[in-house]
Structure 1
């Protein structure tokens, strides 16, 4: 059964104002785990103590590519102390991906350096990895076919959909290499640009995504909303209420 997490980027403004109180509300709503993108100056010991106090599990952490390349030892030390083993590259800038071969080489080296620390490297996609091609294949597929299987996927199913691909097919294709899936919905603005919305409010077949993730043996399915037009805590509660209805209809998520 899928475990339910929240990517805390959704609540970034609230976390900056009240880190501890916001995490407490996430736990109170019923999310099992959290995925970090920032720690707002809190020490590793403080973060770990707070998670233990609130009963929240550590899903993983988004760590900037440059930090992994240039500050590897510091990253490992902090994440060991908070009890995190899933190190996730969240994004590549246009400048960074101007040389995909260098990216592949660096990610392979980072993955190898994480192994002795019992940590694993994951890569999180946006839409550009699917719209950009390398030798007639999507950059995403080229990345994972080039890198060793120890480098795992965190598929963001919303961005796969927005790029024009079927997230259900992608989940099935990456079965066995896919511990975490991002669960996200969107609508399109009048100019075609994406607007992330609460689960069940947009055009993504989020129920099919949940079913496919469970079938593929995914461990964590993680709610994320890049931008909220409603108050963010209200948005994550709305998404959670949709998930509860999905579970009532047979969905396999632990809520």
Structure 2
């Protein structure tokens, strides 16, 4: 069983960071989160971000880096991650016009190239899924599985968004087990009314339909390093939402 850390994907509180990045980080640290995963840096220089994280005793888990930045600013992204001490770089999303089979074949070639560059810099490259990776096939195999079969594990790790896995109609527990040892990062989120094709709501942990305790247990057995709280949209103010999710984690995981 692996001792897993609890982090926050800062995309969840994007409105707050847009107003006051440093103040938001201070609030996140005060809630008890052990690390943060970035989705942009708010124009804060890498050295200043490093010093702020050290002051707050927050670990830099890694960063979601858009495809346009991987293609156009790879050296700069590597340098920033190295400065703040982050171990992971993650491709978080692909634009809707770049998800057909031919586009995916090209993505897989590029992902391997990025993975090699990041590995040379001491950083692991990973991919974060939504649902569309389960909708397209390459040679009869869904893209989610094809990318990890075709790219060596040393160049591409799994950041599994467990909410989207369940939404896609796939057994989340089985998929965690399937990628054990290659799955250092797991996005822990809760969905309500998550039948595919219907309107869904991302909600605070414990308010939705996912078997979170079973997921956490499976993640530990699969050697997950970080459970990363993420809520795509929040009905309540986002900082209140992530505070509630952290209280759920303290009650059901951290203090057990």
TM-score under structure 1 length normalisation: 0.94
Q: Deviations over 1:228-247 (max 9, x none)?
A: 00111111111112112213
Cα distance in 2 for residues equivalent to 1:15 and 1:162: 28
TM-score under structure 2 length normalisation: 0.93
1:62 equivalenced with 2:90 (yes/no) = no
Question: Helix, strand or coil for the counterpart of 2:8?
Answer: strand
1:166 equivalenced with 2:168 (yes/no) = no
Equivalent of 1:230, from 236, 239, 255?
Answer: 236
Question: Structure 1 residue 189: deviation in Å?
Answer: 8.2
Question: Helix, strand or coil for the counterpart of 1:153?
Answer: strand
Question: Structure 1 residue 254: deviation in Å?
Answer: 7.1
Question: Which sections of structure 2, spanning at least 5 residues, go unmatched?
Answer: none
1:213 equivalenced with 2:215 (yes/no) = no
Task: Tell me which residue corresponds to 1:186.
Answer: 191
Question: Helix, strand or coil for the counterpart of 2:187?
Answer: strand
Change (3 A) 1:254 1:53: farther
Root-mean-square deviation (CA, aligned residues, Å) is 1.6
Question: Helix, strand or coil for the counterpart of 1:95?
Answer: helix
**Number of residues of Structure 1 aligned to a counterpart in Structure 2:** 250
Question: Which sections of structure 1, spanning at least 5 residues, go unmatched?
Answer: 248-252
Cα distance in 1 for residues equivalent to 2:237 and 2:110: 39
Change (3 A) 1:140 1:81: same
Instruction: After the TM superposition, list the runs of 4 or more consecutive aligned residues in structure 1 that deviate by more than 6 angstroms.
Output: none
Question: Structure 1 residue 83: deviation in Å?
Answer: 1.6
Cα distance in 1 for residues equivalent to 2:108 and 2:180: 21
Task: Tell me which residue corresponds to 1:250.
Answer: none
Question: Helix, strand or coil for the counterpart of 2:96?
Answer: coil
Cα distance in 2 for residues equivalent to 1:241 and 1:72: 37
